[in-house]
Amino acid sequence: MSDQKPNKKPEKKPDITFFHPDLLEAPADGRAPYLKGYRCKKCGQLDFPKLSPCPSCWGEEFDVVPLSRQGKLYSFSDNFIGQAGMKTPYSFGYIDLPENLRIFAQLEGEPGSFRCDDDVELTVGPVRDNRDGVPLISYKFRKLNSR
């Protein structure tokens, strides 16, 4: 970016800030990304996404717990009519993690390729464009061993 000319708009690059840092950790050293669970220090309840105060006891201190990267696809849908401004088709589903948490997430893979109770794993990718038209990166799931 050092050779940028003053009159030229900086080229748009993918937004590398994740939707919310409380949700997802993607270590810079290349280690696998993980979702961040929050365990209430007062009552022990584990939640995702972060709920503060804890909805069970209103505690405000938490331990961050890396959540399992694999889960089961409880259900899903391939969407051919979507939200205004989103390219279709796109798929999403509920993923049940071993920590007894259910995650709503977009699915990476071809429409028509998913089945209930598929084993899926966490990945990271664009979920939509932000208001400037650059991709917003967040957590997604894909079929296990699909790559």
Partner 1 sequence: MKLQRKVYIAGVGETKFGRHEVDFDVLGRAAALEALRASNIDRPTMVQSAYVGNGTNGMVTGQTVLKDLGMCGHLPIINVESACSAGGMAIHLAVRDVAMGLADVAIGIGCENHTLHMAQGTAFATAMSDIETVHGAVMTGKYAMRAQRYMYETGATAEDLAMITVKNRRHATNNPYAWFKGEISVEEVVRSRVVASPLTLQQCCGIADGAGAIVVCSERMVKKLGIDKPILVAGSVVRSGPYHNRPRDITGDDITEETAAQLYEESGIGPQDVNIVELHDAFTIAELLYYECLGLCPKGEGLKFLRDGNATHGGKCVVSPRGGMLSYGHPIGASGAAQIAASVKQMRNQCPGYQVDPVPRVAMTHVTGGGLSGTEHAACTMHMLVSDW
Question: Which residues of this protein are in contact with Zn ion, per CB under 5 A?
Answer: 40, 42-43, 45, 54, 56-57, 59
In the chain, the amino acid numbered 97 is L
Residue among 34 and 92 whose Cβ is closer to partner 1 = 92
Does residue 52 bind partner 1 (CB under 8 A)?
no
What is the helix (H) or strand (E) element at residue 24, kind and residue range?
Answer: strand 24-25
Only segment of 1-9, 24-32, 46-54, 57-65 that touches partner 1 (CB under 8 A): 46-54
Q: Which two tokens stand for residue 49?
A: 């996404």
In b/e form, how buried is each residue of 44-54, taking b as 16+ CB within 10 angstroms? eeebbbeeeeb
Q: Which residues contact 45 (CB under 8 A, 6 or more apart)?
A: 39, 54, 55, 56, 57
48 contact choice in Zn ion, partner 1, none (CB below 5 to 8 Å, kind-dependent):
partner 1
Could you list the residues that contact partner 1 (CB under 8 A)? 19, 23, 47-49, 55, 74-84, 86, 90, 92-94, 96, 100-102, 104-106, 111-112, 115-117, 127-128, 136, 138
